Amino acid sequence: MDVGESAENDNPHHISPELYEDLVHYFKYASSAYQPICLRPNGNTLVSQFSNVVSDIQGFVARDTRRREIVVAIRGSASVTDILMDSQIVLVPLLSPGVTVPSGTRVHSGFLVTWNSISIQLLAIMRLELAKHPEFSIVTTGHSLGGSIALLAAVALQQIFAERQVRTYSYGAPRTGNQIFAEYVNGLFGTKAYRVVHGNDGVPTVIPTSLGYRHHGIEYWQYTHPPSEQTTFQCAANGEDERCSASTPSQGVNLAHTNYFGILVSTPFCL
């Protein structure tokens, strides 16, 4: 089903237990990406780590044989360099190896620089791994800055490995690009782009729409406690549902940003 295909998505509604379990499952990868090394990501096989010392970004590629998927997890902000990248909010054309997007597509300049700093390295890892596992799908995931980079990675991976299914999960990620970019992402992934927000986490709304930014859909808003499928809304497909997290004025980095589903960000799931 494409984004916007069903009128049901125009009204926030609670999600299924199965979807809730998936959202938690991929958050554990995103949380583990904060570790210097994760030998068994989410209990699965570590394929390779990747990093760039200049942009100070890191992550890993893992293989889940049971789910038959290759998972790319990217760390969120953890240093002064990351914060500097976060602050580079000028919208620039999306120019990246292997990527072709509609005219007028623009993204956060700091996020793009960060993604491009690891893109060739990551794509080389993925080519080798996917050649060994031609039937596996691809998942990207990340928290905060990592969620935005995971989205850019998903766009590149879906274009370069067009025969594979690609899904992407972000947790507490800021707006990444303009409306043309958001609409392109919605068309490329449909319901396979999962954007999760915890309560009044201020990071997803810290970059305002007045600067030309717009979220892609669909948002999954875990709005109150205790965390469960009954306290998580699936919001409208337009990415900017004013009845969900956009209804809360941004407080920037706050307590809600530091934990998702009752899990403290950077908790390792590496055994």
Which residues carry out catalysis?
Answer: 144, 201, 257
Amino acid at residue number 143: H
Cβ atoms of 184 and 125 closer than 8 Å: no
Question: Cα angle vertex 35, ends 33, 36, to 5°?
Answer: 115
Pairing mode of beta strands 193-198, 213-214: unpaired
Reported in sequence order, the residue ranges of the chain that DSSP labels E, i.e. its strands, are 13-14, 45-52, 57-64, 69-74, 91-93, 106-108, 137-143, 166-171, 177-178, 193-198, 213-214, 219-222, 232-234, 259-260, 263-264
Cβ-count burial 12-48 (b if 16+ within 10 Å, e if not) = beebeeeebebbbbbbbbbbbbbbeebeebbebeebb
Instruction: Please give the full DSSP string across 2-64, using - where no structure is assigned.
Output: -TTS-GGGGS-EEPPHHHHHHHHHHHHHHHHTTSS--SSGGGSEEEEEEEETTTTEEEEEEEE
User: Angle at CA 112, nearest 5°, toward 157 and 27?
Assistant: 60
